[in-house]
A = this chain, B = another copy of it.
Amino acid sequence: MNREDRYAYGMKVLEQVDGEAGQRIVDSLADTSPELGHQVVAWAFGDMYARPELPPRDRQLVTLGVLTALGGCEIELDVHINAALNVGLTPTEITEALLHSAVYCGMPRAINATLTAKKVFTDRALLPLTNIS
């Protein structure tokens, strides 16, 4: 595959997983660092995300863990909470994953991530969650 093919393939993966929210980040990079946008699409999605060794739902669980632990990634967490819903994680599973991460990276990171989830769930009219304990 040449450079354009790799981009086109990655974009197909990105669209399935992240939908519009991912596209918006790539667009926002276009006038400042188109190469970063290219690498997000061609490498992160085309090369890495597309590998069959781990299904999309599992990848989002790992990603939620990483982004919650890093902190300061609210923009990216917004995209990936949307992605998590797109690939079949329920809102309850998502909030539970963030709650679980509190054990390992502390309450503040878990609270920040949960408030980002609240924003995404509100945008998608999923609140209040009904089957939560």
* Chain A interface (Cβ < 8 Å from any Cβ of B): 1-2, 25, 28-29, 31-36, 39-40, 43-44, 47-49, 51, 53-54, 58-59, 61-73, 75-76, 92-93, 95-112, 114-115, 117-118, 121, 127-129, 132-133
Q: Please state if B111 and A44 are interface contacts (CB–CB under 8 Å).
A: no
13 A–B contacts, CB within 8 A, in A order = A29-B115, A33-B114, A35-B132, A36-B102, A39-B47, A39-B107, A59-B97, A62-B101, A65-B66, A69-B69, A70-B104, A75-B115, A103-B107
* Chief secondary structure at chain A's binding surface: helix
The 8 closest A-B pairs by CB, nearest first: A65-B65, A72-B72, A69-B69, A53-B96, A71-B72, A61-B61, A62-B65, A32-B118
In the bound assembly, the distance between CA atoms of A28 and B133 in angstroms comes to 17
Given A73-B112, A111-B76, answer yes or no on A97-B62 (Cβ-Cβ < 8 Å).
yes
